Amino acid sequence: MTTLRHTSLIITAACLGVGYLMASTWLLLPMLLVYGLYWFFTRKPAGGWPATVLLAVTVIFTTIGILAGVHVILMTIACVGALVNWDLTQFQQDRIGTISTVQSTSRETHHLQSLAWAALAGLALAILSAAIDLDFPLVIVILLVLISIVGVTNGLLLTEKRKKKDG
C-alpha cells in the first residue's frame, strides 16, 4: 500500500515536472519545493491533512499548468496521481483501527479494486473529453455547467434524504 502511495506521488511529481519543463516555466521550483516538503513531513505518520493539502495544491498546480499551456494529459495524470495518493493516505489512516488482519486484507482488496476502477475510468474519460473538440457559445456552456452543478448537488442531497428516511 505504501509503495503504491509513493508510486502515485512520484507519478504526480514527474508529470508536473515534465509538463513544466516542457513549458519552461519557473513554477517547476515551487512545485519541487512543495513535493519535497510533503515527502519530508510524511516520513512519519502525520494524519490525513498533509495529503488533503497536497491534493488541493496539485489541483492548483495543474490548473496553472493548463493555463501555461502544458499538455492536458500530463496534468490529468498528475491530478489522478494526487487523488490516488490522497485516497490511500486516508485509507491507511482508517486502517489503524481495523479489527483483524483477515478483515484488513478483505477491506484492502475491495478498496484497491474500487480505486483502480475510479482512477482508470476517470483518466480514460478525461483523456477522451480532452480529445473531443466541441465548440459551444459561452452562454450554452454556462447553462450546461449550471445544469450539471444543480444536477449533481440535487442528486447528492436526494440520496442523503433517502438514507435519512430509511434510517
Partner 1 sequence: MNKKSTLHLLLILSLIMGALIFRKGELLSLAIPFLVYLIIGLIQAPSDLDLAAKRTIDRTSVPAGGTVETSIVIKNQGAGLANLYLEDTLFPSMSILEGEAQGRVALARGETVEFNYTFTAERGVYPWKMVRACASDPFGLFDLETEIPAFGNILVRPAPMKIRPVAVKPLHTLHAPGPIPSRLAGSGTDFWGVREYLPGDPLRQINWRLKARHPRRLFTNEFEREEIADFGLILDTRRFATADALEESLFEHTASAATAFSESLLKVGNRVSLLVYGKSITTVFPGSGKSHGNRLLRSLARARLGEYIPFTYLDYFPTRLFPARSVIVIFSSVHPHDLDVYARLRSYHYEVLLISPDPVGYASRKLPQTEINSLALRLARLERIVLLKQLVKLGVKVVDWQVNEPLDKVLNYSLNQLARRRDIRGTQ
Task: Name the residues that contact partner 1, by CB under 8 A.
Answer: 52, 55-56, 59, 62-63, 66-67, 72, 75-76, 79-80, 83, 87, 90-91, 94-95, 97-100, 103, 106-107, 110-111, 114-115, 117-119, 121-123, 125-127, 129-130, 134, 138, 141-142, 145, 148-149, 152-153, 155-156, 159-160, 162-163, 166-167
Comparing CA positions, the residue from 152, 156, 132, 155 lying closest to residue 144 is 152
Question: Which is nearer to partner 1, 36 or 147 (by Cβ)?
Answer: 147
Please give the DSSP secondary-structure letter assigned to residue 134: -
Q: How many CB atoms lie within 10 A of CB 18?
A: 16
Cα–Cα distance between 3 and 53 in angstroms, integer? 20
State in angstroms the smallest separation of the CB of 3 from partner 1: 20
Indicate the length of the chain as a whole number. Answer: 167
CB of 65 to partner 1, least distance (A): 10
* Minimum gap (Å) between residue 19 Cβ and partner 1: 12
User: Could you identify the residue written with the cell 502544458?
Assistant: 70
For 60, the grid coordinates are 492548483
Query: CB-wise, 36 or 154, nearer to partner 1?
Result: 154
**Of the two residues 36 and 142, which places its CB atom closer to partner 1 in the complex?**
142
Cα separations (Å) of 100 from 42, 45, 82, 97, 106?
Answer: 26, 21, 29, 9, 10
Please state the closest distance from residue 24 (CB atom) to partner 1, in A: 19
C-alpha cell at 118: 475510479
